[in-house]
């Protein structure tokens, strides 16, 4: 049995639960909110605060965990990143009151900076040769300048709307972050085998993201031109139709690119274009 720690609530929790569902893992319905086993896979879910997950994985309380890269970098525990998951993207940035004139990192010299990530911030300031006081706050960091607690903040930024609401402006991006799957470096062979199967399933889900399965009919003489416009991951599937001189083409494409070239396909005689979602792709 493999134990995975995930965040108790929030956007990372929701996206993690969606990923697990897409990998086919079905959880037991239980009133025990701390630990829930899966019905059809040798895994159990341990719900924790996000900042407790790196320590829990390092100590072996959980075998693996899904956490923001920012927490992984801040805690500096003895765990390894087994996979980058590509969701819950954000950044860690320095922000100052919007009315302040900003002329570079020298602005922060001698200032007080409020943050929940003192380790990352201190390392960054040291590399920049900046001496500043770090005031550690565990929540609502963005209000610190407004109440006179700090001159600036260092915090997570997603859309930036929270900064705007608190009359702040982002001036330096220190690191990019996304959800990562971390693992204890001393897992048994049995647990490593379960982890490999879980990673395989996650990869299949990720491969399908943003991809569409496209079927279309077109004059056979235009096949080469259409293939140049609409390449797939490998050579597309081409089948002759009962109507002489016509073929059916099946291909996997990025959805965003498909809409850009739909006019070109139609100009080459493509018709009966069918676009279908892809749930999984096995590499």
Listed by start position, the domains of the chain span: 2-88+178-207, 90-177, 210-277
Q: Band the pLDDT of 230: cuts 50, 70, 90.
A: confident
**What is the per-residue pLDDT across 106-138, written as a single tens digit (0 to 9) for each?**
999 999 999 999 999 999 999 999 999 999 998
DSSP, res 38: B
Whether residue 70 is predicted with pLDDT greater than 60 in this model: the reply is yes
CA 20 – CA 277 distance, rounded (Å) = 19
The confidence score (pLDDT) of residue 281 equals 78
Q: Where are the beta strands (DSSP E) in 121-270?
A: 133-136, 152-157, 168-177, 179-183, 211-219, 237-240, 246-254
The confidence score (pLDDT) of residue 30 equals 64
**What is the per-residue pLDDT across 149-172, written as a single tens digit (0 to 9) for each?**
999 999 999 888 899 999 999 999
Task: Say if domain 210-277 classifies as CATH 3.60.40.10.
Answer: no
Q: In whole numbers, what is the pLDDT of the chain averaged over residues?
A: 91
CA 195 – CA 189 distance, rounded (Å) = 10
CA 84 – CA 181 distance, rounded (Å) = 6
pTM of the model: 0.81
- Reading the block at residue 154, the tokens are 């260092």
Q: What is the CATH number of domain 90-177?
A: 3.40.190.10
Say which CATH topology domain 2-88+178-207 has. Answer: D-Maltodextrin-Binding Protein; domain 2 (3.40.190)
Q: Band the pLDDT of 188: cuts 50, 70, 90.
A: very high
Residue 118: which residues within 8 A CB-CB, separation 6 or more?
Answer: 134, 136
Whether residue 33 is predicted with pLDDT greater than 80 in this model: the reply is no
* Domains 2-88+178-207 and 210-277 agree in fold: no
Cβ 6 vs Cβ 195: under 8 Å: no
In degrees rounded to 5, what are phi and psi of residue 272?
Answer: 50, 45
CA 184 – CA 78 distance, rounded (Å) = 7
Total number of residues shown for the chain:
283
Residue 65 half-sphere exposure toward CB, CA atoms < 13 A: 32
User: Among 213, 215, 211, which Cα is nearest to 254's?
Assistant: 211
């Amino acid at each position: 049995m493999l134990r995975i720690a995930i965040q108790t609530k929030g956007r990372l929790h929701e996206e993690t639960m969606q990923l697990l569902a897409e990998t086919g893992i079905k959880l037991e319905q239980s009133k025990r909110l701390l630990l829930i086993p899966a019905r059809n896979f040798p895994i159990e879910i341990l719900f924790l605060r996000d900042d407790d997950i790196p320590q829990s994985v390092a100590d072996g309380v959980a075998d693996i965990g899904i956490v923001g890269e920012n927490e992984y970098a801040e805690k500096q525990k003895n765990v390894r990143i087994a996979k980058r998951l590509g969701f819950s993207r954000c950044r860690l940035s320095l922000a100052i009151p919007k009315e302040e004139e900003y002329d570079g990192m020298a602005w922060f010299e001698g200032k007080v900076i409020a943050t929940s990530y003192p380790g990352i911030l201190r390392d960054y300031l040291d590399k920049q040769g900046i001496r500043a006081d770090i005031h550690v706050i565990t929540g609502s960091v963005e209000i610190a300048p407004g109440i006179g607690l700090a001159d600036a903040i260092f915090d997570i930024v997603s859309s930036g709307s929270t900064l705007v609401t608190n009359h702040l402006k982002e001036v330096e991006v220190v690191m990019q972050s996304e959800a990562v799957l971390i693992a204890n470096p001393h897992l048994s062979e049995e647990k490593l085998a379960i982890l490999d199967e879980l990673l395989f399933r996650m990869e299949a889900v990720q491969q399908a993201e943003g991809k569409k399965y496209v079927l279309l009919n077109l004059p056979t003489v235009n096949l080469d031109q259409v293939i140049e416009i609409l390449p797939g991951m490998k050579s597309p599937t081409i089948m002759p139709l009962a109507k002489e001189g016509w073929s059916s083409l099946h291909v996997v494409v990025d959805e965003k690119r498909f809409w850009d070239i739909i006019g070109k396909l139609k100009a080459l005689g493509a018709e009966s274009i069918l676009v279908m979602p892809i749930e999984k792709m096995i590499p």
